[in-house]
Amino acid sequence: MDSFTRESFKGNPAGVCILDKAAPENWMQNIAMEMNLSETAFVYPEDNGFQLRWFTPTTEVELCGHATLATAHILFETGILKSHETARFFTRSGLLTVIFKGKFLEMNFPATPAFPCDVPELLGDVLENIPVIAIAKNDFDLLVEVDSDKKIKTLQPDFTLMKNIDARGIIVTSRAANSNFDFVSRFFAPRVGINEDPVTGSAHCTLGPYWGKKLKRSKMTAYQASSRGGVIQVELAGDRVLLSGEAVTVLQLNLV
């Protein structure tokens, strides 16, 4: 599936493997490596919902937005869940839910706000010394605000050097020049096997609180400015963030 888009071959591709029961971790990791997507999700029924896990080609991750959206999309599309039902996922980040809201799928995720931090020593070299307005960090990622979305779109980071910065990934963000959006971003995570993630739901659990405070808004439209591009609707809800988007199915296959 392609997530955070209404067009095939845009947004962020995710693999979704629907299982009858739990599978061995090494098997799931090997499948994710074979798929070679930023994340492959594995889902199977459990109690009043589904167990959901996410793997990059090299490791299991704590939280993934686009693969959760893709999983909900295929469960609704295939009729495993009806459109009026709530998708309930038990994950390493707690209970996550997804509902239909208009034409969008709305995910209820934990907010992961970032707090001001010192500038990592290598950051300038990693990010081509672009001018930085603010730097913040949470348990997962480093957030770097810059002064121009044009600089974000043309940025070519040093991924080898980036692996030496102590963070799962680096979110680079700015206000949007395009009036259709409130802010733009890109997300880089070579330490977990993803040089650039095309559209990153979990990063918006951090971007939402950050820009909500700066813009004094609880509802925002975000654009992730990768080569594929993707649009995320962001709504703040206390210690939660509601992330909405669309998804399309591109291909289906059977594992042998």
Q: Provide the annotated active-site residues.
A: 39
* Alpha carbon distance 119, 26 (integer Å): 37
Distance separating alpha carbons of residues 81 and 2, to the nearest angstrom = 19
Do residues 190 and 122 make contact, with C-beta atoms less than 8 angstroms apart? Answer: no
Residue type, 177: A
Residue 114: phi and psi, rounded to 5, are -105, 155
CB atoms within 10 A of CB 237: 12
How many C-beta atoms lie closer than 10 Å to residue 37's C-beta?
21
191 neighbors 163 (Cβ within 8 angstroms): yes
Task: Please answer whether residues 65 and 222 qualify as being in contact, where contact means their C-beta atoms are separated by less than 8 angstroms.
Answer: no
Single-letter amino acid, residue 82: K
